[in-house]
Structure 1
């Protein structure tokens, strides 16, 4: 298993964490098992349950899978999957195109890396795991010479969608993409028909993207399989605040 950042696991941390890329089918199954626990079991999505207890789809075999392990147990505690432009050409589309019309971004396809299925074990959500995953994404982008990071970020609709509507309304004014980068959901989430929650809770992943300079590229899509409202986010590296660029190793 290739250690992408050998210096990162030497810093004091509790627990100590290791970042790597999955290099075998068995390691990919470890990733899929964690995703199943977090995305399907914890959310009670019985329609997606399966005997193997793996969350997987056709994109997994075309993607690279970043892994964060607890060094003391070697347990997989975090993951992100990465689709490079060459691999996207092989499968014929980005994952986000299941939910959005990305026609306006056609001219950027050779410069976009798509990240998805961000997943962290509930006991390891203090911030260190996501920072390692972002460092891994940064290295993948440098290797592929890509200057845009794209991805879908899911928002729970367990409250009827009111918080999701509030998140979108609270962010779109300041973080909207320029018109030429807008996308259109195939199945729009009805943000206009919902009252915003009293106190909006922005999901950590969405918060991390927009703080780093990402754009919201349009209204959210409704994902009936995962019962979520999904935002399409596009992060130009040129937008990165210097503080975050240094933190994520992107300078």
Structure 2
């Protein structure tokens, strides 16, 4: 087990350990958690093998996991793809990334498929995932972190509209660091003048809090009923 943070962190009367999965059993546990959260809880249309969410990218990605050591259960996961390991990024299934400069792509870790078990959402696990993610980028020697940050559309698109406006104003990427969604989602309601952050999912709030850019209009992820924003973080300029 490749541990990425302090081996045992007490939180909410539990102990957690953050690591990169290095056995098939651990990867399968992460895939089962993804199925539970995305498929059963959120109703997403997934490619499944039994009770696991599985796709073609799983074999080439690293799987960051947070394990509850009191039950030896995987309760959080993140999927990570360092540069050079695959000819294609997962994000390219949703976005045209040709607008990204080569200097960024060659030093960019892609992150995605993040989820936390519903019984472990007090904040401790997501914070450990963030710490593990930062440690992974640091140890791998790369500079940029990128991926799709999802905003559910179950509220009629209000949160996604707020995110869209934030992405065109306060958190907009420079003009030469933009990507194009393959199936754009655009807000249909009147945008509020000063959108807040409270309705945004914790993952996207976390990205924006540390200084990530939003690199253009979102993709309509119909299988998940989400608006997906491509976000990019320069770790040398983190807040």
Fold match (TM-score > 0.5): yes
Give the match for residue 194 of structure 1. Answer: 189
- Kindly provide the CA deviation profile for residues 104-127 of structure 1, in whole angstroms up to 9, marking residues without a partner as x: 214122110011111101111122
Residues 1:23 and 1:17: Cα distance change in structure 2 (over 3 Å)? same
Shift of 1:233: 0.3
Q: Any conservation in 1 of the 2:101–2:177 contact (CA below 8 Å)?
A: no
Q: TM-score, normalised by structure 2?
A: 0.91
**Gaps (5+ residues) in structure 2?**
none
Give the match for residue 229 of structure 1. Answer: 227
Give the match for residue 248 of structure 1. Answer: none
**Gaps (5+ residues) in structure 1?**
242-251
Paired positions, count:
235
Give the match for residue 3 of structure 2. Answer: 3
- Kindly provide the CA deviation profile for residues 3-36 of structure 1, in whole angstroms up to 9, marking residues without a partner as x: 232x351556521111111111121110000000
Higher share in strand: 2
Moved more, 159-168 or 149-158: 159-168
Give the match for residue 83 of structure 2. Answer: 85
Q: Distance in 2 between matches of 1:50 and 1:87?
A: 24
Higher share in helix: 1
Q: TM-score, normalised by structure 1?
A: 0.87
93, 102, 114: which one aligns with 1:98: 93
Q: Distance in 2 between matches of 1:94 and 1:121?
A: 26
Q: Any conservation in 1 of the 2:32–2:51 contact (CA below 8 Å)?
A: yes
Shift of 1:97: 0.7
Does 2:138 align with 1:142? Answer: yes
Give the match for residue 74 of structure 1. Answer: 72
Does 2:31 align with 1:32? Answer: yes
Q: Distance in 2 between matches of 1:51 and 1:59?
A: 14
Runs of 4+ aligned residues of structure 1 deviating over 4 Å after TM superposition are 10-13, 196-200
Residues 1:217 and 1:151: Cα distance change in structure 2 (over 3 Å)? same
172, 175, 181: which one aligns with 1:176: 172
